[in-house]
Structure 1
């Protein structure tokens, strides 16, 4: 272990260059878990690359809703590549992670905002169909894209500044399968309320706000869909709603469940908590392209064309 030690008045400060990830998994399940993670990663890579390729190759799919789907696929690819290979390495007893790579694992926060924007796009398409082309323009997309990058970047920058202030006087072991801001706060010696305030604010901005906005949007969409006279129109609208809500549910429910369960006083074992967080981070990126491929006729049709032409 590479670290330097500074002795102070009341404690010993350890300047770490790496962390140890303590991923608690039953030893009898490790081989099975590694096999599942490898399969999930391969399916995730194939599915998301396929969605990106199909949308990029077909000009008729380069509309706001499909650009959002392609952007989601890129985020899922980067996030999965950032987490799953290292997770497999940890299970193979390569438990140390360099300081820089640990910080890199915390850089993705845009997905919840993107899902909220996608809900907004569908809301405009259903509730104001005649004004869609004037409301959702290239300028709107550029503004949304800027917000999706600037807001997470601002919080990440604050996190990184705070993390550089942390000192570690007891341990550099994280009781998690990958790096997390709250995990670093827990093992740091610093006890400044600002570290928890930024965490709570980020949870509100990237968790509660987008999730609440999405639910409200789809309540309005469902209400508008019920007023559509044709059954075909209602079916198409509800198909869009269920597709997006399924993606949102996969992204939010595992984490929300873990927070709710611990919030009412139920103590989860580290293994159970890790499992729920892992599911929340690796399953949605694998299923998102499958959901959009099977539920979206345009994407499905162009995938069939792609394979027929090869």
Structure 2
């Protein structure tokens, strides 16, 4: 019997290694949507679609108005434009595919596409938190240092702050995708979720996933803790300054400039906290409730943010009215 040469054995070993690497993850996954509500998904999609249409239309209108009106090229409105862009990317990353699952049962998603969706959703969730933090800083400098506000938050500073928030999200979320790409997945490729949520994908991995879970927790905790701390400290200092103002009219005016931002912050962080707590501690809560809350957590802020700012901000209300008059609406 002929003994294979060392070169042939090395080649065979290399091919085996390549094959095992190529088979370490499935070519695609199957997203179920909302397990337990398969029959109701078709009807649930309609309010989700309406919310998505409002989010897209509202945030695009905000971006157009802020871009075209030079009088709105101030830190507050530039940060609002960042928030509107973030909301557009965040909602578009999940809703079109989710509606395809709910209406047509099109749950197949490629492995790379799943990682891309996961990256955009988690990255821009972190970016949204960072933009809300930057907007709190803007309100702090506007109320506590009104004469120096424009010099402290100049255009280069606003641009740098927005770039840092985006870079932070990329640097934190990229390793999550890299770690998943290096893992070996089991034959079971069904994701019990309506989008590629990190922990839902991790459950399909056949290897030890403690590093993935720990990194995800630490990353989310670091982002949320830093941003919430800055927001709380900013508004604590704002409250102290406002309460020292001589007239109630001045106090009301100062508070009014912060109401819109507070109304945007609360839905985002309250729903995020509820999602986190139900995911880690709410084991008695049905799975479809977990997934519905996770969906609303990503969809409600992009929907309500342009409505809140459009109704609460006088300058934006005026510009929107003018835009509609020009279009004959």
- TM-score (structure 1 length as normaliser): 0.90
Three-state SS of the structure 1 residue aligned to 2:30 is: strand
- TM-score (structure 2 length as normaliser): 0.85
Three-state SS of the structure 1 residue aligned to 2:147 is: helix
1:266 Cα deviation after fit: 5.2
Residue matched to 1:268: 285
Kindly provide the CA deviation profile for residues 162-198 of structure 1, in whole angstroms up to 9, marking residues without a partner as x: 1111111242111111112222222212215322232
Residue matched to 2:113: 101
1:115 is aligned, of 127, 132, 136, to 132
Q: Is 2:172 the partner of 1:155?
A: yes
Residue matched to 1:33: 44
Q: Is 2:208 the partner of 1:198?
A: no
- Aligned residues, how many? 300
Pair 1:25–1:234, CA change in 2 (3 A) = farther
Q: Is 2:228 the partner of 1:228?
A: no
Q: Which of the pair has more CA radius of gyration? A: 2
1:207 Cα deviation after fit: 2.2
CA contact (8 A) 1:20 1:95 kept: yes
CA distance in structure 2 between the partners assigned to 1:128 and 1:96 by the alignment: 53
Kindly provide the CA deviation profile for residues 43-90 of structure 1, in whole angstroms up to 9, marking residues without a partner as x: 111111111111111000011110111111111111111111111111
Three-state SS of the structure 1 residue aligned to 2:272 is: helix
Q: Is 2:316 the partner of 1:304?
A: no
Three-state SS of the structure 2 residue aligned to 1:97 is: strand
Q: Is 2:31 the partner of 1:21?
A: yes
Residue matched to 1:83: 94
Pair 1:78–1:264, CA change in 2 (3 A) = closer
Kindly provide the CA deviation profile for residues 173-230 of structure 1, in whole angstroms up to 9, marking residues without a partner as x: 1111111222222221221532223202221133232123212221221221111122
CA distance in structure 1 between the partners assigned to 2:303 and 2:282 by the alignment: 32
CA distance in structure 2 between the partners assigned to 1:192 and 1:263 by the alignment: 16
CA distance in structure 1 between the partners assigned to 2:221 and 2:64 by the alignment: 34
Residue matched to 1:144: 161
Q: Is 2:178 the partner of 1:166?
A: no
CA distance in structure 2 between the partners assigned to 1:192 and 1:177 by the alignment: 22
Three-state SS of the structure 1 residue aligned to 2:167 is: helix
1:138 Cα deviation after fit: 2.2
Residue matched to 1:176: 193
1:303 Cα deviation after fit: 0.7
1:14 Cα deviation after fit: 5.2
Mean Cα displacement is larger for which, 121-130 or 284-293? 121-130
- Please, which runs of 5 or more residues in structure 1 have no aligned partner? 1-5, 8-12
Following TM superposition, where does structure 1 have runs of at least 4 consecutive aligned residues deviating by more than 6 angstroms?
none
CA distance in structure 1 between the partners assigned to 2:204 and 2:92 by the alignment: 26
